[in-house]
A and B are shown apart, each in its own frame.
Chain A
Amino acid sequence: MPALTDAAISVSGLDKSFGTTKALDQLDLTVHTEEVHGFLGPNGAGKSTTIRVLLGLLRSDAGTAAVLGGDPWRDAVALHRRLSYVAGDVNLWPNLTGGEAIDLFARLRGGFDRKRRDALCDRFDLDPTKKGRTYSKGNRQKVAIVAALASDVELLVLDEPTAGLDPLMESVFAECVRELKAAGRTVLLSSHILAQVEALCDRVSIIRLGHIVESGSLSELRHLTRTTVIAETARPADRLAELPGVHDPAVHNGQLRFDVDTEQLDAVIGYLHSLGIRSLVSQPPTLEQLFMRHYGDDLNADVTTTRSA
C-alpha cells in the first residue's frame, strides 16, 4: 500500500449526483497521515456526502477515492476495522441503552477497550444505563463520540461531531482530539464551527457547492486572505484607494480602516509610512473572514472579475 504513509485519505475528481442535484463536483481532497484535517463548509455543501463516499455507504459517479490505501467501496469492511465514524445526526435504538449502543458499535468494529470506554463515559459525563429514547440530542451525540473513541483506530472520520454539545463538553471533545493527534492518529473533522477548526486543525479544506475551493494549512490559507489594517497617519492618505490589493477603505474620526491582500501588505504599509504613521493595528484574518471570502463578499468579486475579463 504505497499511499499509506503520506496520505490517509486521497480523493480526486469525485462526482456524485442525486437525481438532478449535483452534490459533489470534481472534488479533490487530501488528508495526510497523522494530521487533524478540518473539512469546512456551510450546510448542504457536500461534507456529509463526501464522508459517506469515504465510508463506502455511497458510490461515487466518477473520480477516485482511497482511504488508508484501500478502495472505500470495495474494501469497506477491512477499512472499517481501522477507522471510526461519528455522524452529525445520531439516531439510537429507543429500547437499547446508551452503554449497549456504545459497546455494539465498538465491538462490531473490533479493537474495543473496556477501560477506555468507561473512562470516556466519565469524561463526557454520560449515563450509559439510560434507554436511547430518553437521551437528549447532546447525549446521543456523546454516545456516538464515546463509541468512536473507544476503539484504537488509525483514522477518525467525524461529521460535525459536536452538534448539540454544550461548551464544556465541546472542550472535553477538543482535548480528546488533541490526544489523538499526539498519539499519531489521523482525524478528518467536518464542521461549520470555525473556531473549532482553527483551534484543532493542522490543515483545512473548504468545500462549497460540492467542490473544494481552498485547501492548505491555516498559515498557507492566510496568504490568500486579507489583513485588516486600522491606522492613523500624519498626512491624509489620498491615494490609498488607488493602490493594488486595497479593499473597502473608509475613514472614521480620522482613522483609516481597510482590508489588504496579504501579498500587497508590504507596499501598502510602505505607502502609509511615507505619510507618517501615528498608530497602526493590523489583524490577521480570522477563519470567519476566510470563510466569508468564499461564501460572502467574494461571490461579488468573482462576478466582477468575470465581467472585467
Chain B
Amino acid sequence: MTITTTRPAVTAHDRGSTFTGTGALVRFILRRDRVRIPVWLAALTLTTVGTAQSFQDLYGDDTNRAQVAETMSTPAGLAMTGPAHYLGDYTLGAMMSHQMLGFMAIMVGLMSVLAVVRHTRAEEETGRAELVRANVVGRHAHLVAALAVVAATNVVLALLIAAGLGGLGMAGITWSGALLYGAAHAAAGIVFAGVAAVTVQITEHSRGAAGLALAVVGVAYVLRAAGDVGDNGLSWLSPIGWVQATWAFLENRWWPLLLAVALAVGLVLVAFQLSSRRDVGAGLRQPRSGAAAASNALAHPIGFALRLHRGLMFGFGVAMLLLGVTYGSILGEAEDMLAGIDAFQDVIAEIGGATVAESFASMVMVIMAIIASVYVVMAALRPRAEENAGRAEPVLATALSRVRWLGSHLVVVLIGSVVMLLAAGLGIGLSGASSMGDSSMVGKLVGASLAYLPALWVTAGIAVLLVGLVPRAAALAWIVPLYAFLVGYLGQILQFPNWMNNLSPFGHIPQLPVDDLDFVPLLALTALAAALAVGGLLAFREREVNVT
C-alpha cells in the first residue's frame, strides 16, 4: 500500500493580500529618496517663509497692501493669483493665501506627481518592478507604498509650513490660519498624487504618465483662473480652486479640503481597479501590430525624427490649443467686468491706449510661451534620451552624419515650436474673438503669440548646445523655463529687479498687442539662437557618442 500525502491547499493566510510587502517597499522608497524628499520639503518651506518675510518688508503697512489689492483686482491679477474674496481684508496672511496658494499647489502637484510616477510606472518601465514583484510582494504594494510615502511627505510639508509661518509671529498670520494654509498644500499634493496613481495605470511610459498628470495640474490651474476672473463657479471644478476656497487666514473654513480628500480616495480606488486589470509593465491598451515596412518619409532623417516626436508634439499642441481657448473665453468677461468701473480708466490710460482685454492677453501670452518652452526643452533633449537608451549608436553607424542626425531633431523642435505657439495663438484668438465679438483679435493674438518664437528658439539653442558640449548636464536646459516661470510669476509679486527679467529670453520679447512690434530684439534673439544651435551641432560632431 502506498501512502500519499497531499499538501494542503494554500490557505487564505499563506496567500497573503495584494498589499503584502508594502512596508518593505516604503522603507525602500525612503532609502532611495533620502535626499530628494528633504530637498523638496526644504525648498517649499523656505519659499513660503521667505515670501511671507518679503511681503512684510514690501507691504508692511495698510496703504501698501490696499494698493496691491487694487492692482490684483484686475482680470490679469486674478487669473495669476486667486479668488477676489481675499481682497476684502488684505492682511499679510490673506496675501499669502491669495497670491501663493495657487502657485504652491502647482509646485506640490509637481512634487507628488513626479514621486508617484518614479516609484510606480518608472519602476515597471525599467523592468525593476518585475524583479520585485517576483518576490513576496502583492499586486498593489508598489502603488500603496508610493502613495503612502507621498501622502506622508505632504503631511510633513503641511506641518513644516504651518510651523514656519506661525513661528514668524507676523500680524495677520494666525496659528489656526497657518495650520489650514499648510493643510491646503497637503490636500493639493494628495489629490495630484491620486491623479498620478491613475495615469500610471493608463500608459506604459513614465514620461507619458507624468505628462498626463501634470496636464491635469495645468488644467486645474487654468480652470480656477477662468473661474476667479469670471466669478462663474468654474473654480469649484478645480482642486486648486478648492484649496484656495478655504479662505485661510480669513474665515478659515476647512470643509473645502474634504472635497480634495474625497477625490483623492476616489482616484486611488479607480487606480486599484485599473491596476488589477492589467499586466505588469503593460498599459491598459494592448499593443497593436503595425506597418511591415518603413514609408519613404520615415527613411528620411527629418521624417524619422518627426516620427519620434509626433506623439509629444500632438499631445502638447492640443494642450496649448485648449489653454488658449480657455484664456480666450474669459477675455470678453474681463472687458465687461471693468467697463463700468471708473477707477480702471486711469489704469487703462497708463497702459497706453490698449484695452483691458489686450493687456490681459499680453500677460497670458508670456505664460503660454513659457509653457510652450517646456515642450521645447522636452523635445530638444530627445536626442540625448535616444543616446542614453543606446538607440543613437546604430543609427550613427549608418551613413547618417552626426550633424544631420542632431540637426534633424532640431528642425523638428523648430517646427514644434511654431505648432505650439500657433495652437495657443489660434486658441486664444478664436475664442477671444468670439467672446469679445471682435474678429480683429484673431490676427492680433496669433501674431502676439508667434512673436515669442525667437525666445523658444533660444531655449532650443541652449538645449542643443548642452547636448553637444556637456551631454551629462543636458538636463540643465530645464533652467530656462523654470527661471522664466519664477521670474515671470514670483518676480511680479516680489518685485525682482529688472536685470533678473532680462536674463530670461522671454523678458526681451515685445508684449504684443500692448507694446509696439520691435524687430530688433526678435532678430537679436534669433541670431543668438542660431549661434547656440550651430555651436551645439559642431560640438556634437567633435564628441564621442557615449551610451552611458
For A57, list chain B residues within 8 Å (CB): 393, 396-397, 544-545
Decide yes or no whether B502 CB sits under 8 A from chain A: no
Q: CB distance B395 to A108 under 8 Å?
A: yes
Residues of chain B within 8 A of A80, CB atoms compared: 397-400
Does B544 lie within 8 Å of A76, measured CB to CB?
no
**Contacts A57-B396, A109-B399 hold; do A103 and B298 have CB atoms under 8 A apart?**
yes
- Bound CA–CA A109/B399 (angstroms): 5
Is B266 an interface position by the 8 A CB rule? no
B401 at the interface (CB under 8 A from A): yes
| Bound-state Cα–Cα, A95 to B290, Å | 9
Given A76-B396, A104-B298, 11 further pairs, Cβ under 8 A: A57-B393, A80-B397, A80-B398, A97-B292, A100-B293, A105-B398, A108-B304, A127-B289, A129-B291, A131-B288, A131-B289
Interface segment out of the listed A84-92, A162-170, A291-299: A84-92
Within 8 A of B (CB), among A48-84: 52, 55, 57-59, 76-78, 80-81
Question: Quick one: given A131-B288, A131-B290, are A105 and B399 in contact (CB under 8 Å)?
Answer: no
List A residues 78-135 near B (Cβ within 8 Å). Answer: 78, 80-81, 85, 87, 89-97, 99-105, 107-110, 114, 127-131, 133-134
A89 touches B399 (CB 8 A): no
CA distance A92 to B294 in the complex (A): 14
Contacts of B292 in A (CB 8 A): 97, 99, 128-129
Cβ of A197 under 8 Å from chain B: no
| Shortest beta-carbon distance from B297 to chain A in Å | 11
Asked if residues A144 and B394 are in contact (CB atoms below 8 Å), the reply is: yes
Q: Give residues in A with beta carbon < 8 Å to B.
A: 52, 55, 57-59, 76-78, 80-81, 85, 87, 89-97, 99-105, 107-110, 114, 127-131, 133-134, 144
Residue of A55, A90, A93, A108 with most partner-chain B CB within 10 A? A108
Chain A residue nearest to B402 (CB atoms) is A76
Task: Select one of B394, B400, B401, B544 contacting A58, CB under 8 A.
Answer: B544
Main DSSP-derived SS at the B contact region: loop
Whether A100 touches B294, Cβ cut-off 8 Å, given contacts A59-B544, A80-B399, A107-B299, is yes
Residue of B nearest to A53 (CB): B544
Residues of chain B with a CB closer than 8 A to A96's CB: 290, 298, 307
- Verify B399–A81 contact, CB threshold 8 A: yes
* Least Cβ–Cβ distance between B435 and chain A, in angstroms: 39
Residue in chain B with minimal CB distance to A104: B294
Residues in chain A near residue B167, CB distance under 8 A: none
Q: Is the CB of A109 within 8 A of B398?
A: yes
In the assembled complex, 13 residue pairs joining A and B whose CB atoms fall closer than 8 Å, in A order, are: A52-B393, A58-B545, A90-B394, A91-B391, A92-B391, A93-B308, A96-B307, A104-B395, A108-B301, A108-B398, A129-B290, A133-B287, A134-B287
Instruction: Give min CB distance, B467 to chain A, whole Å.
Output: 16
Per-position 1/0 for B165-208, Cβ under 8 A of A: 00000000000000000000000000000000000000011000
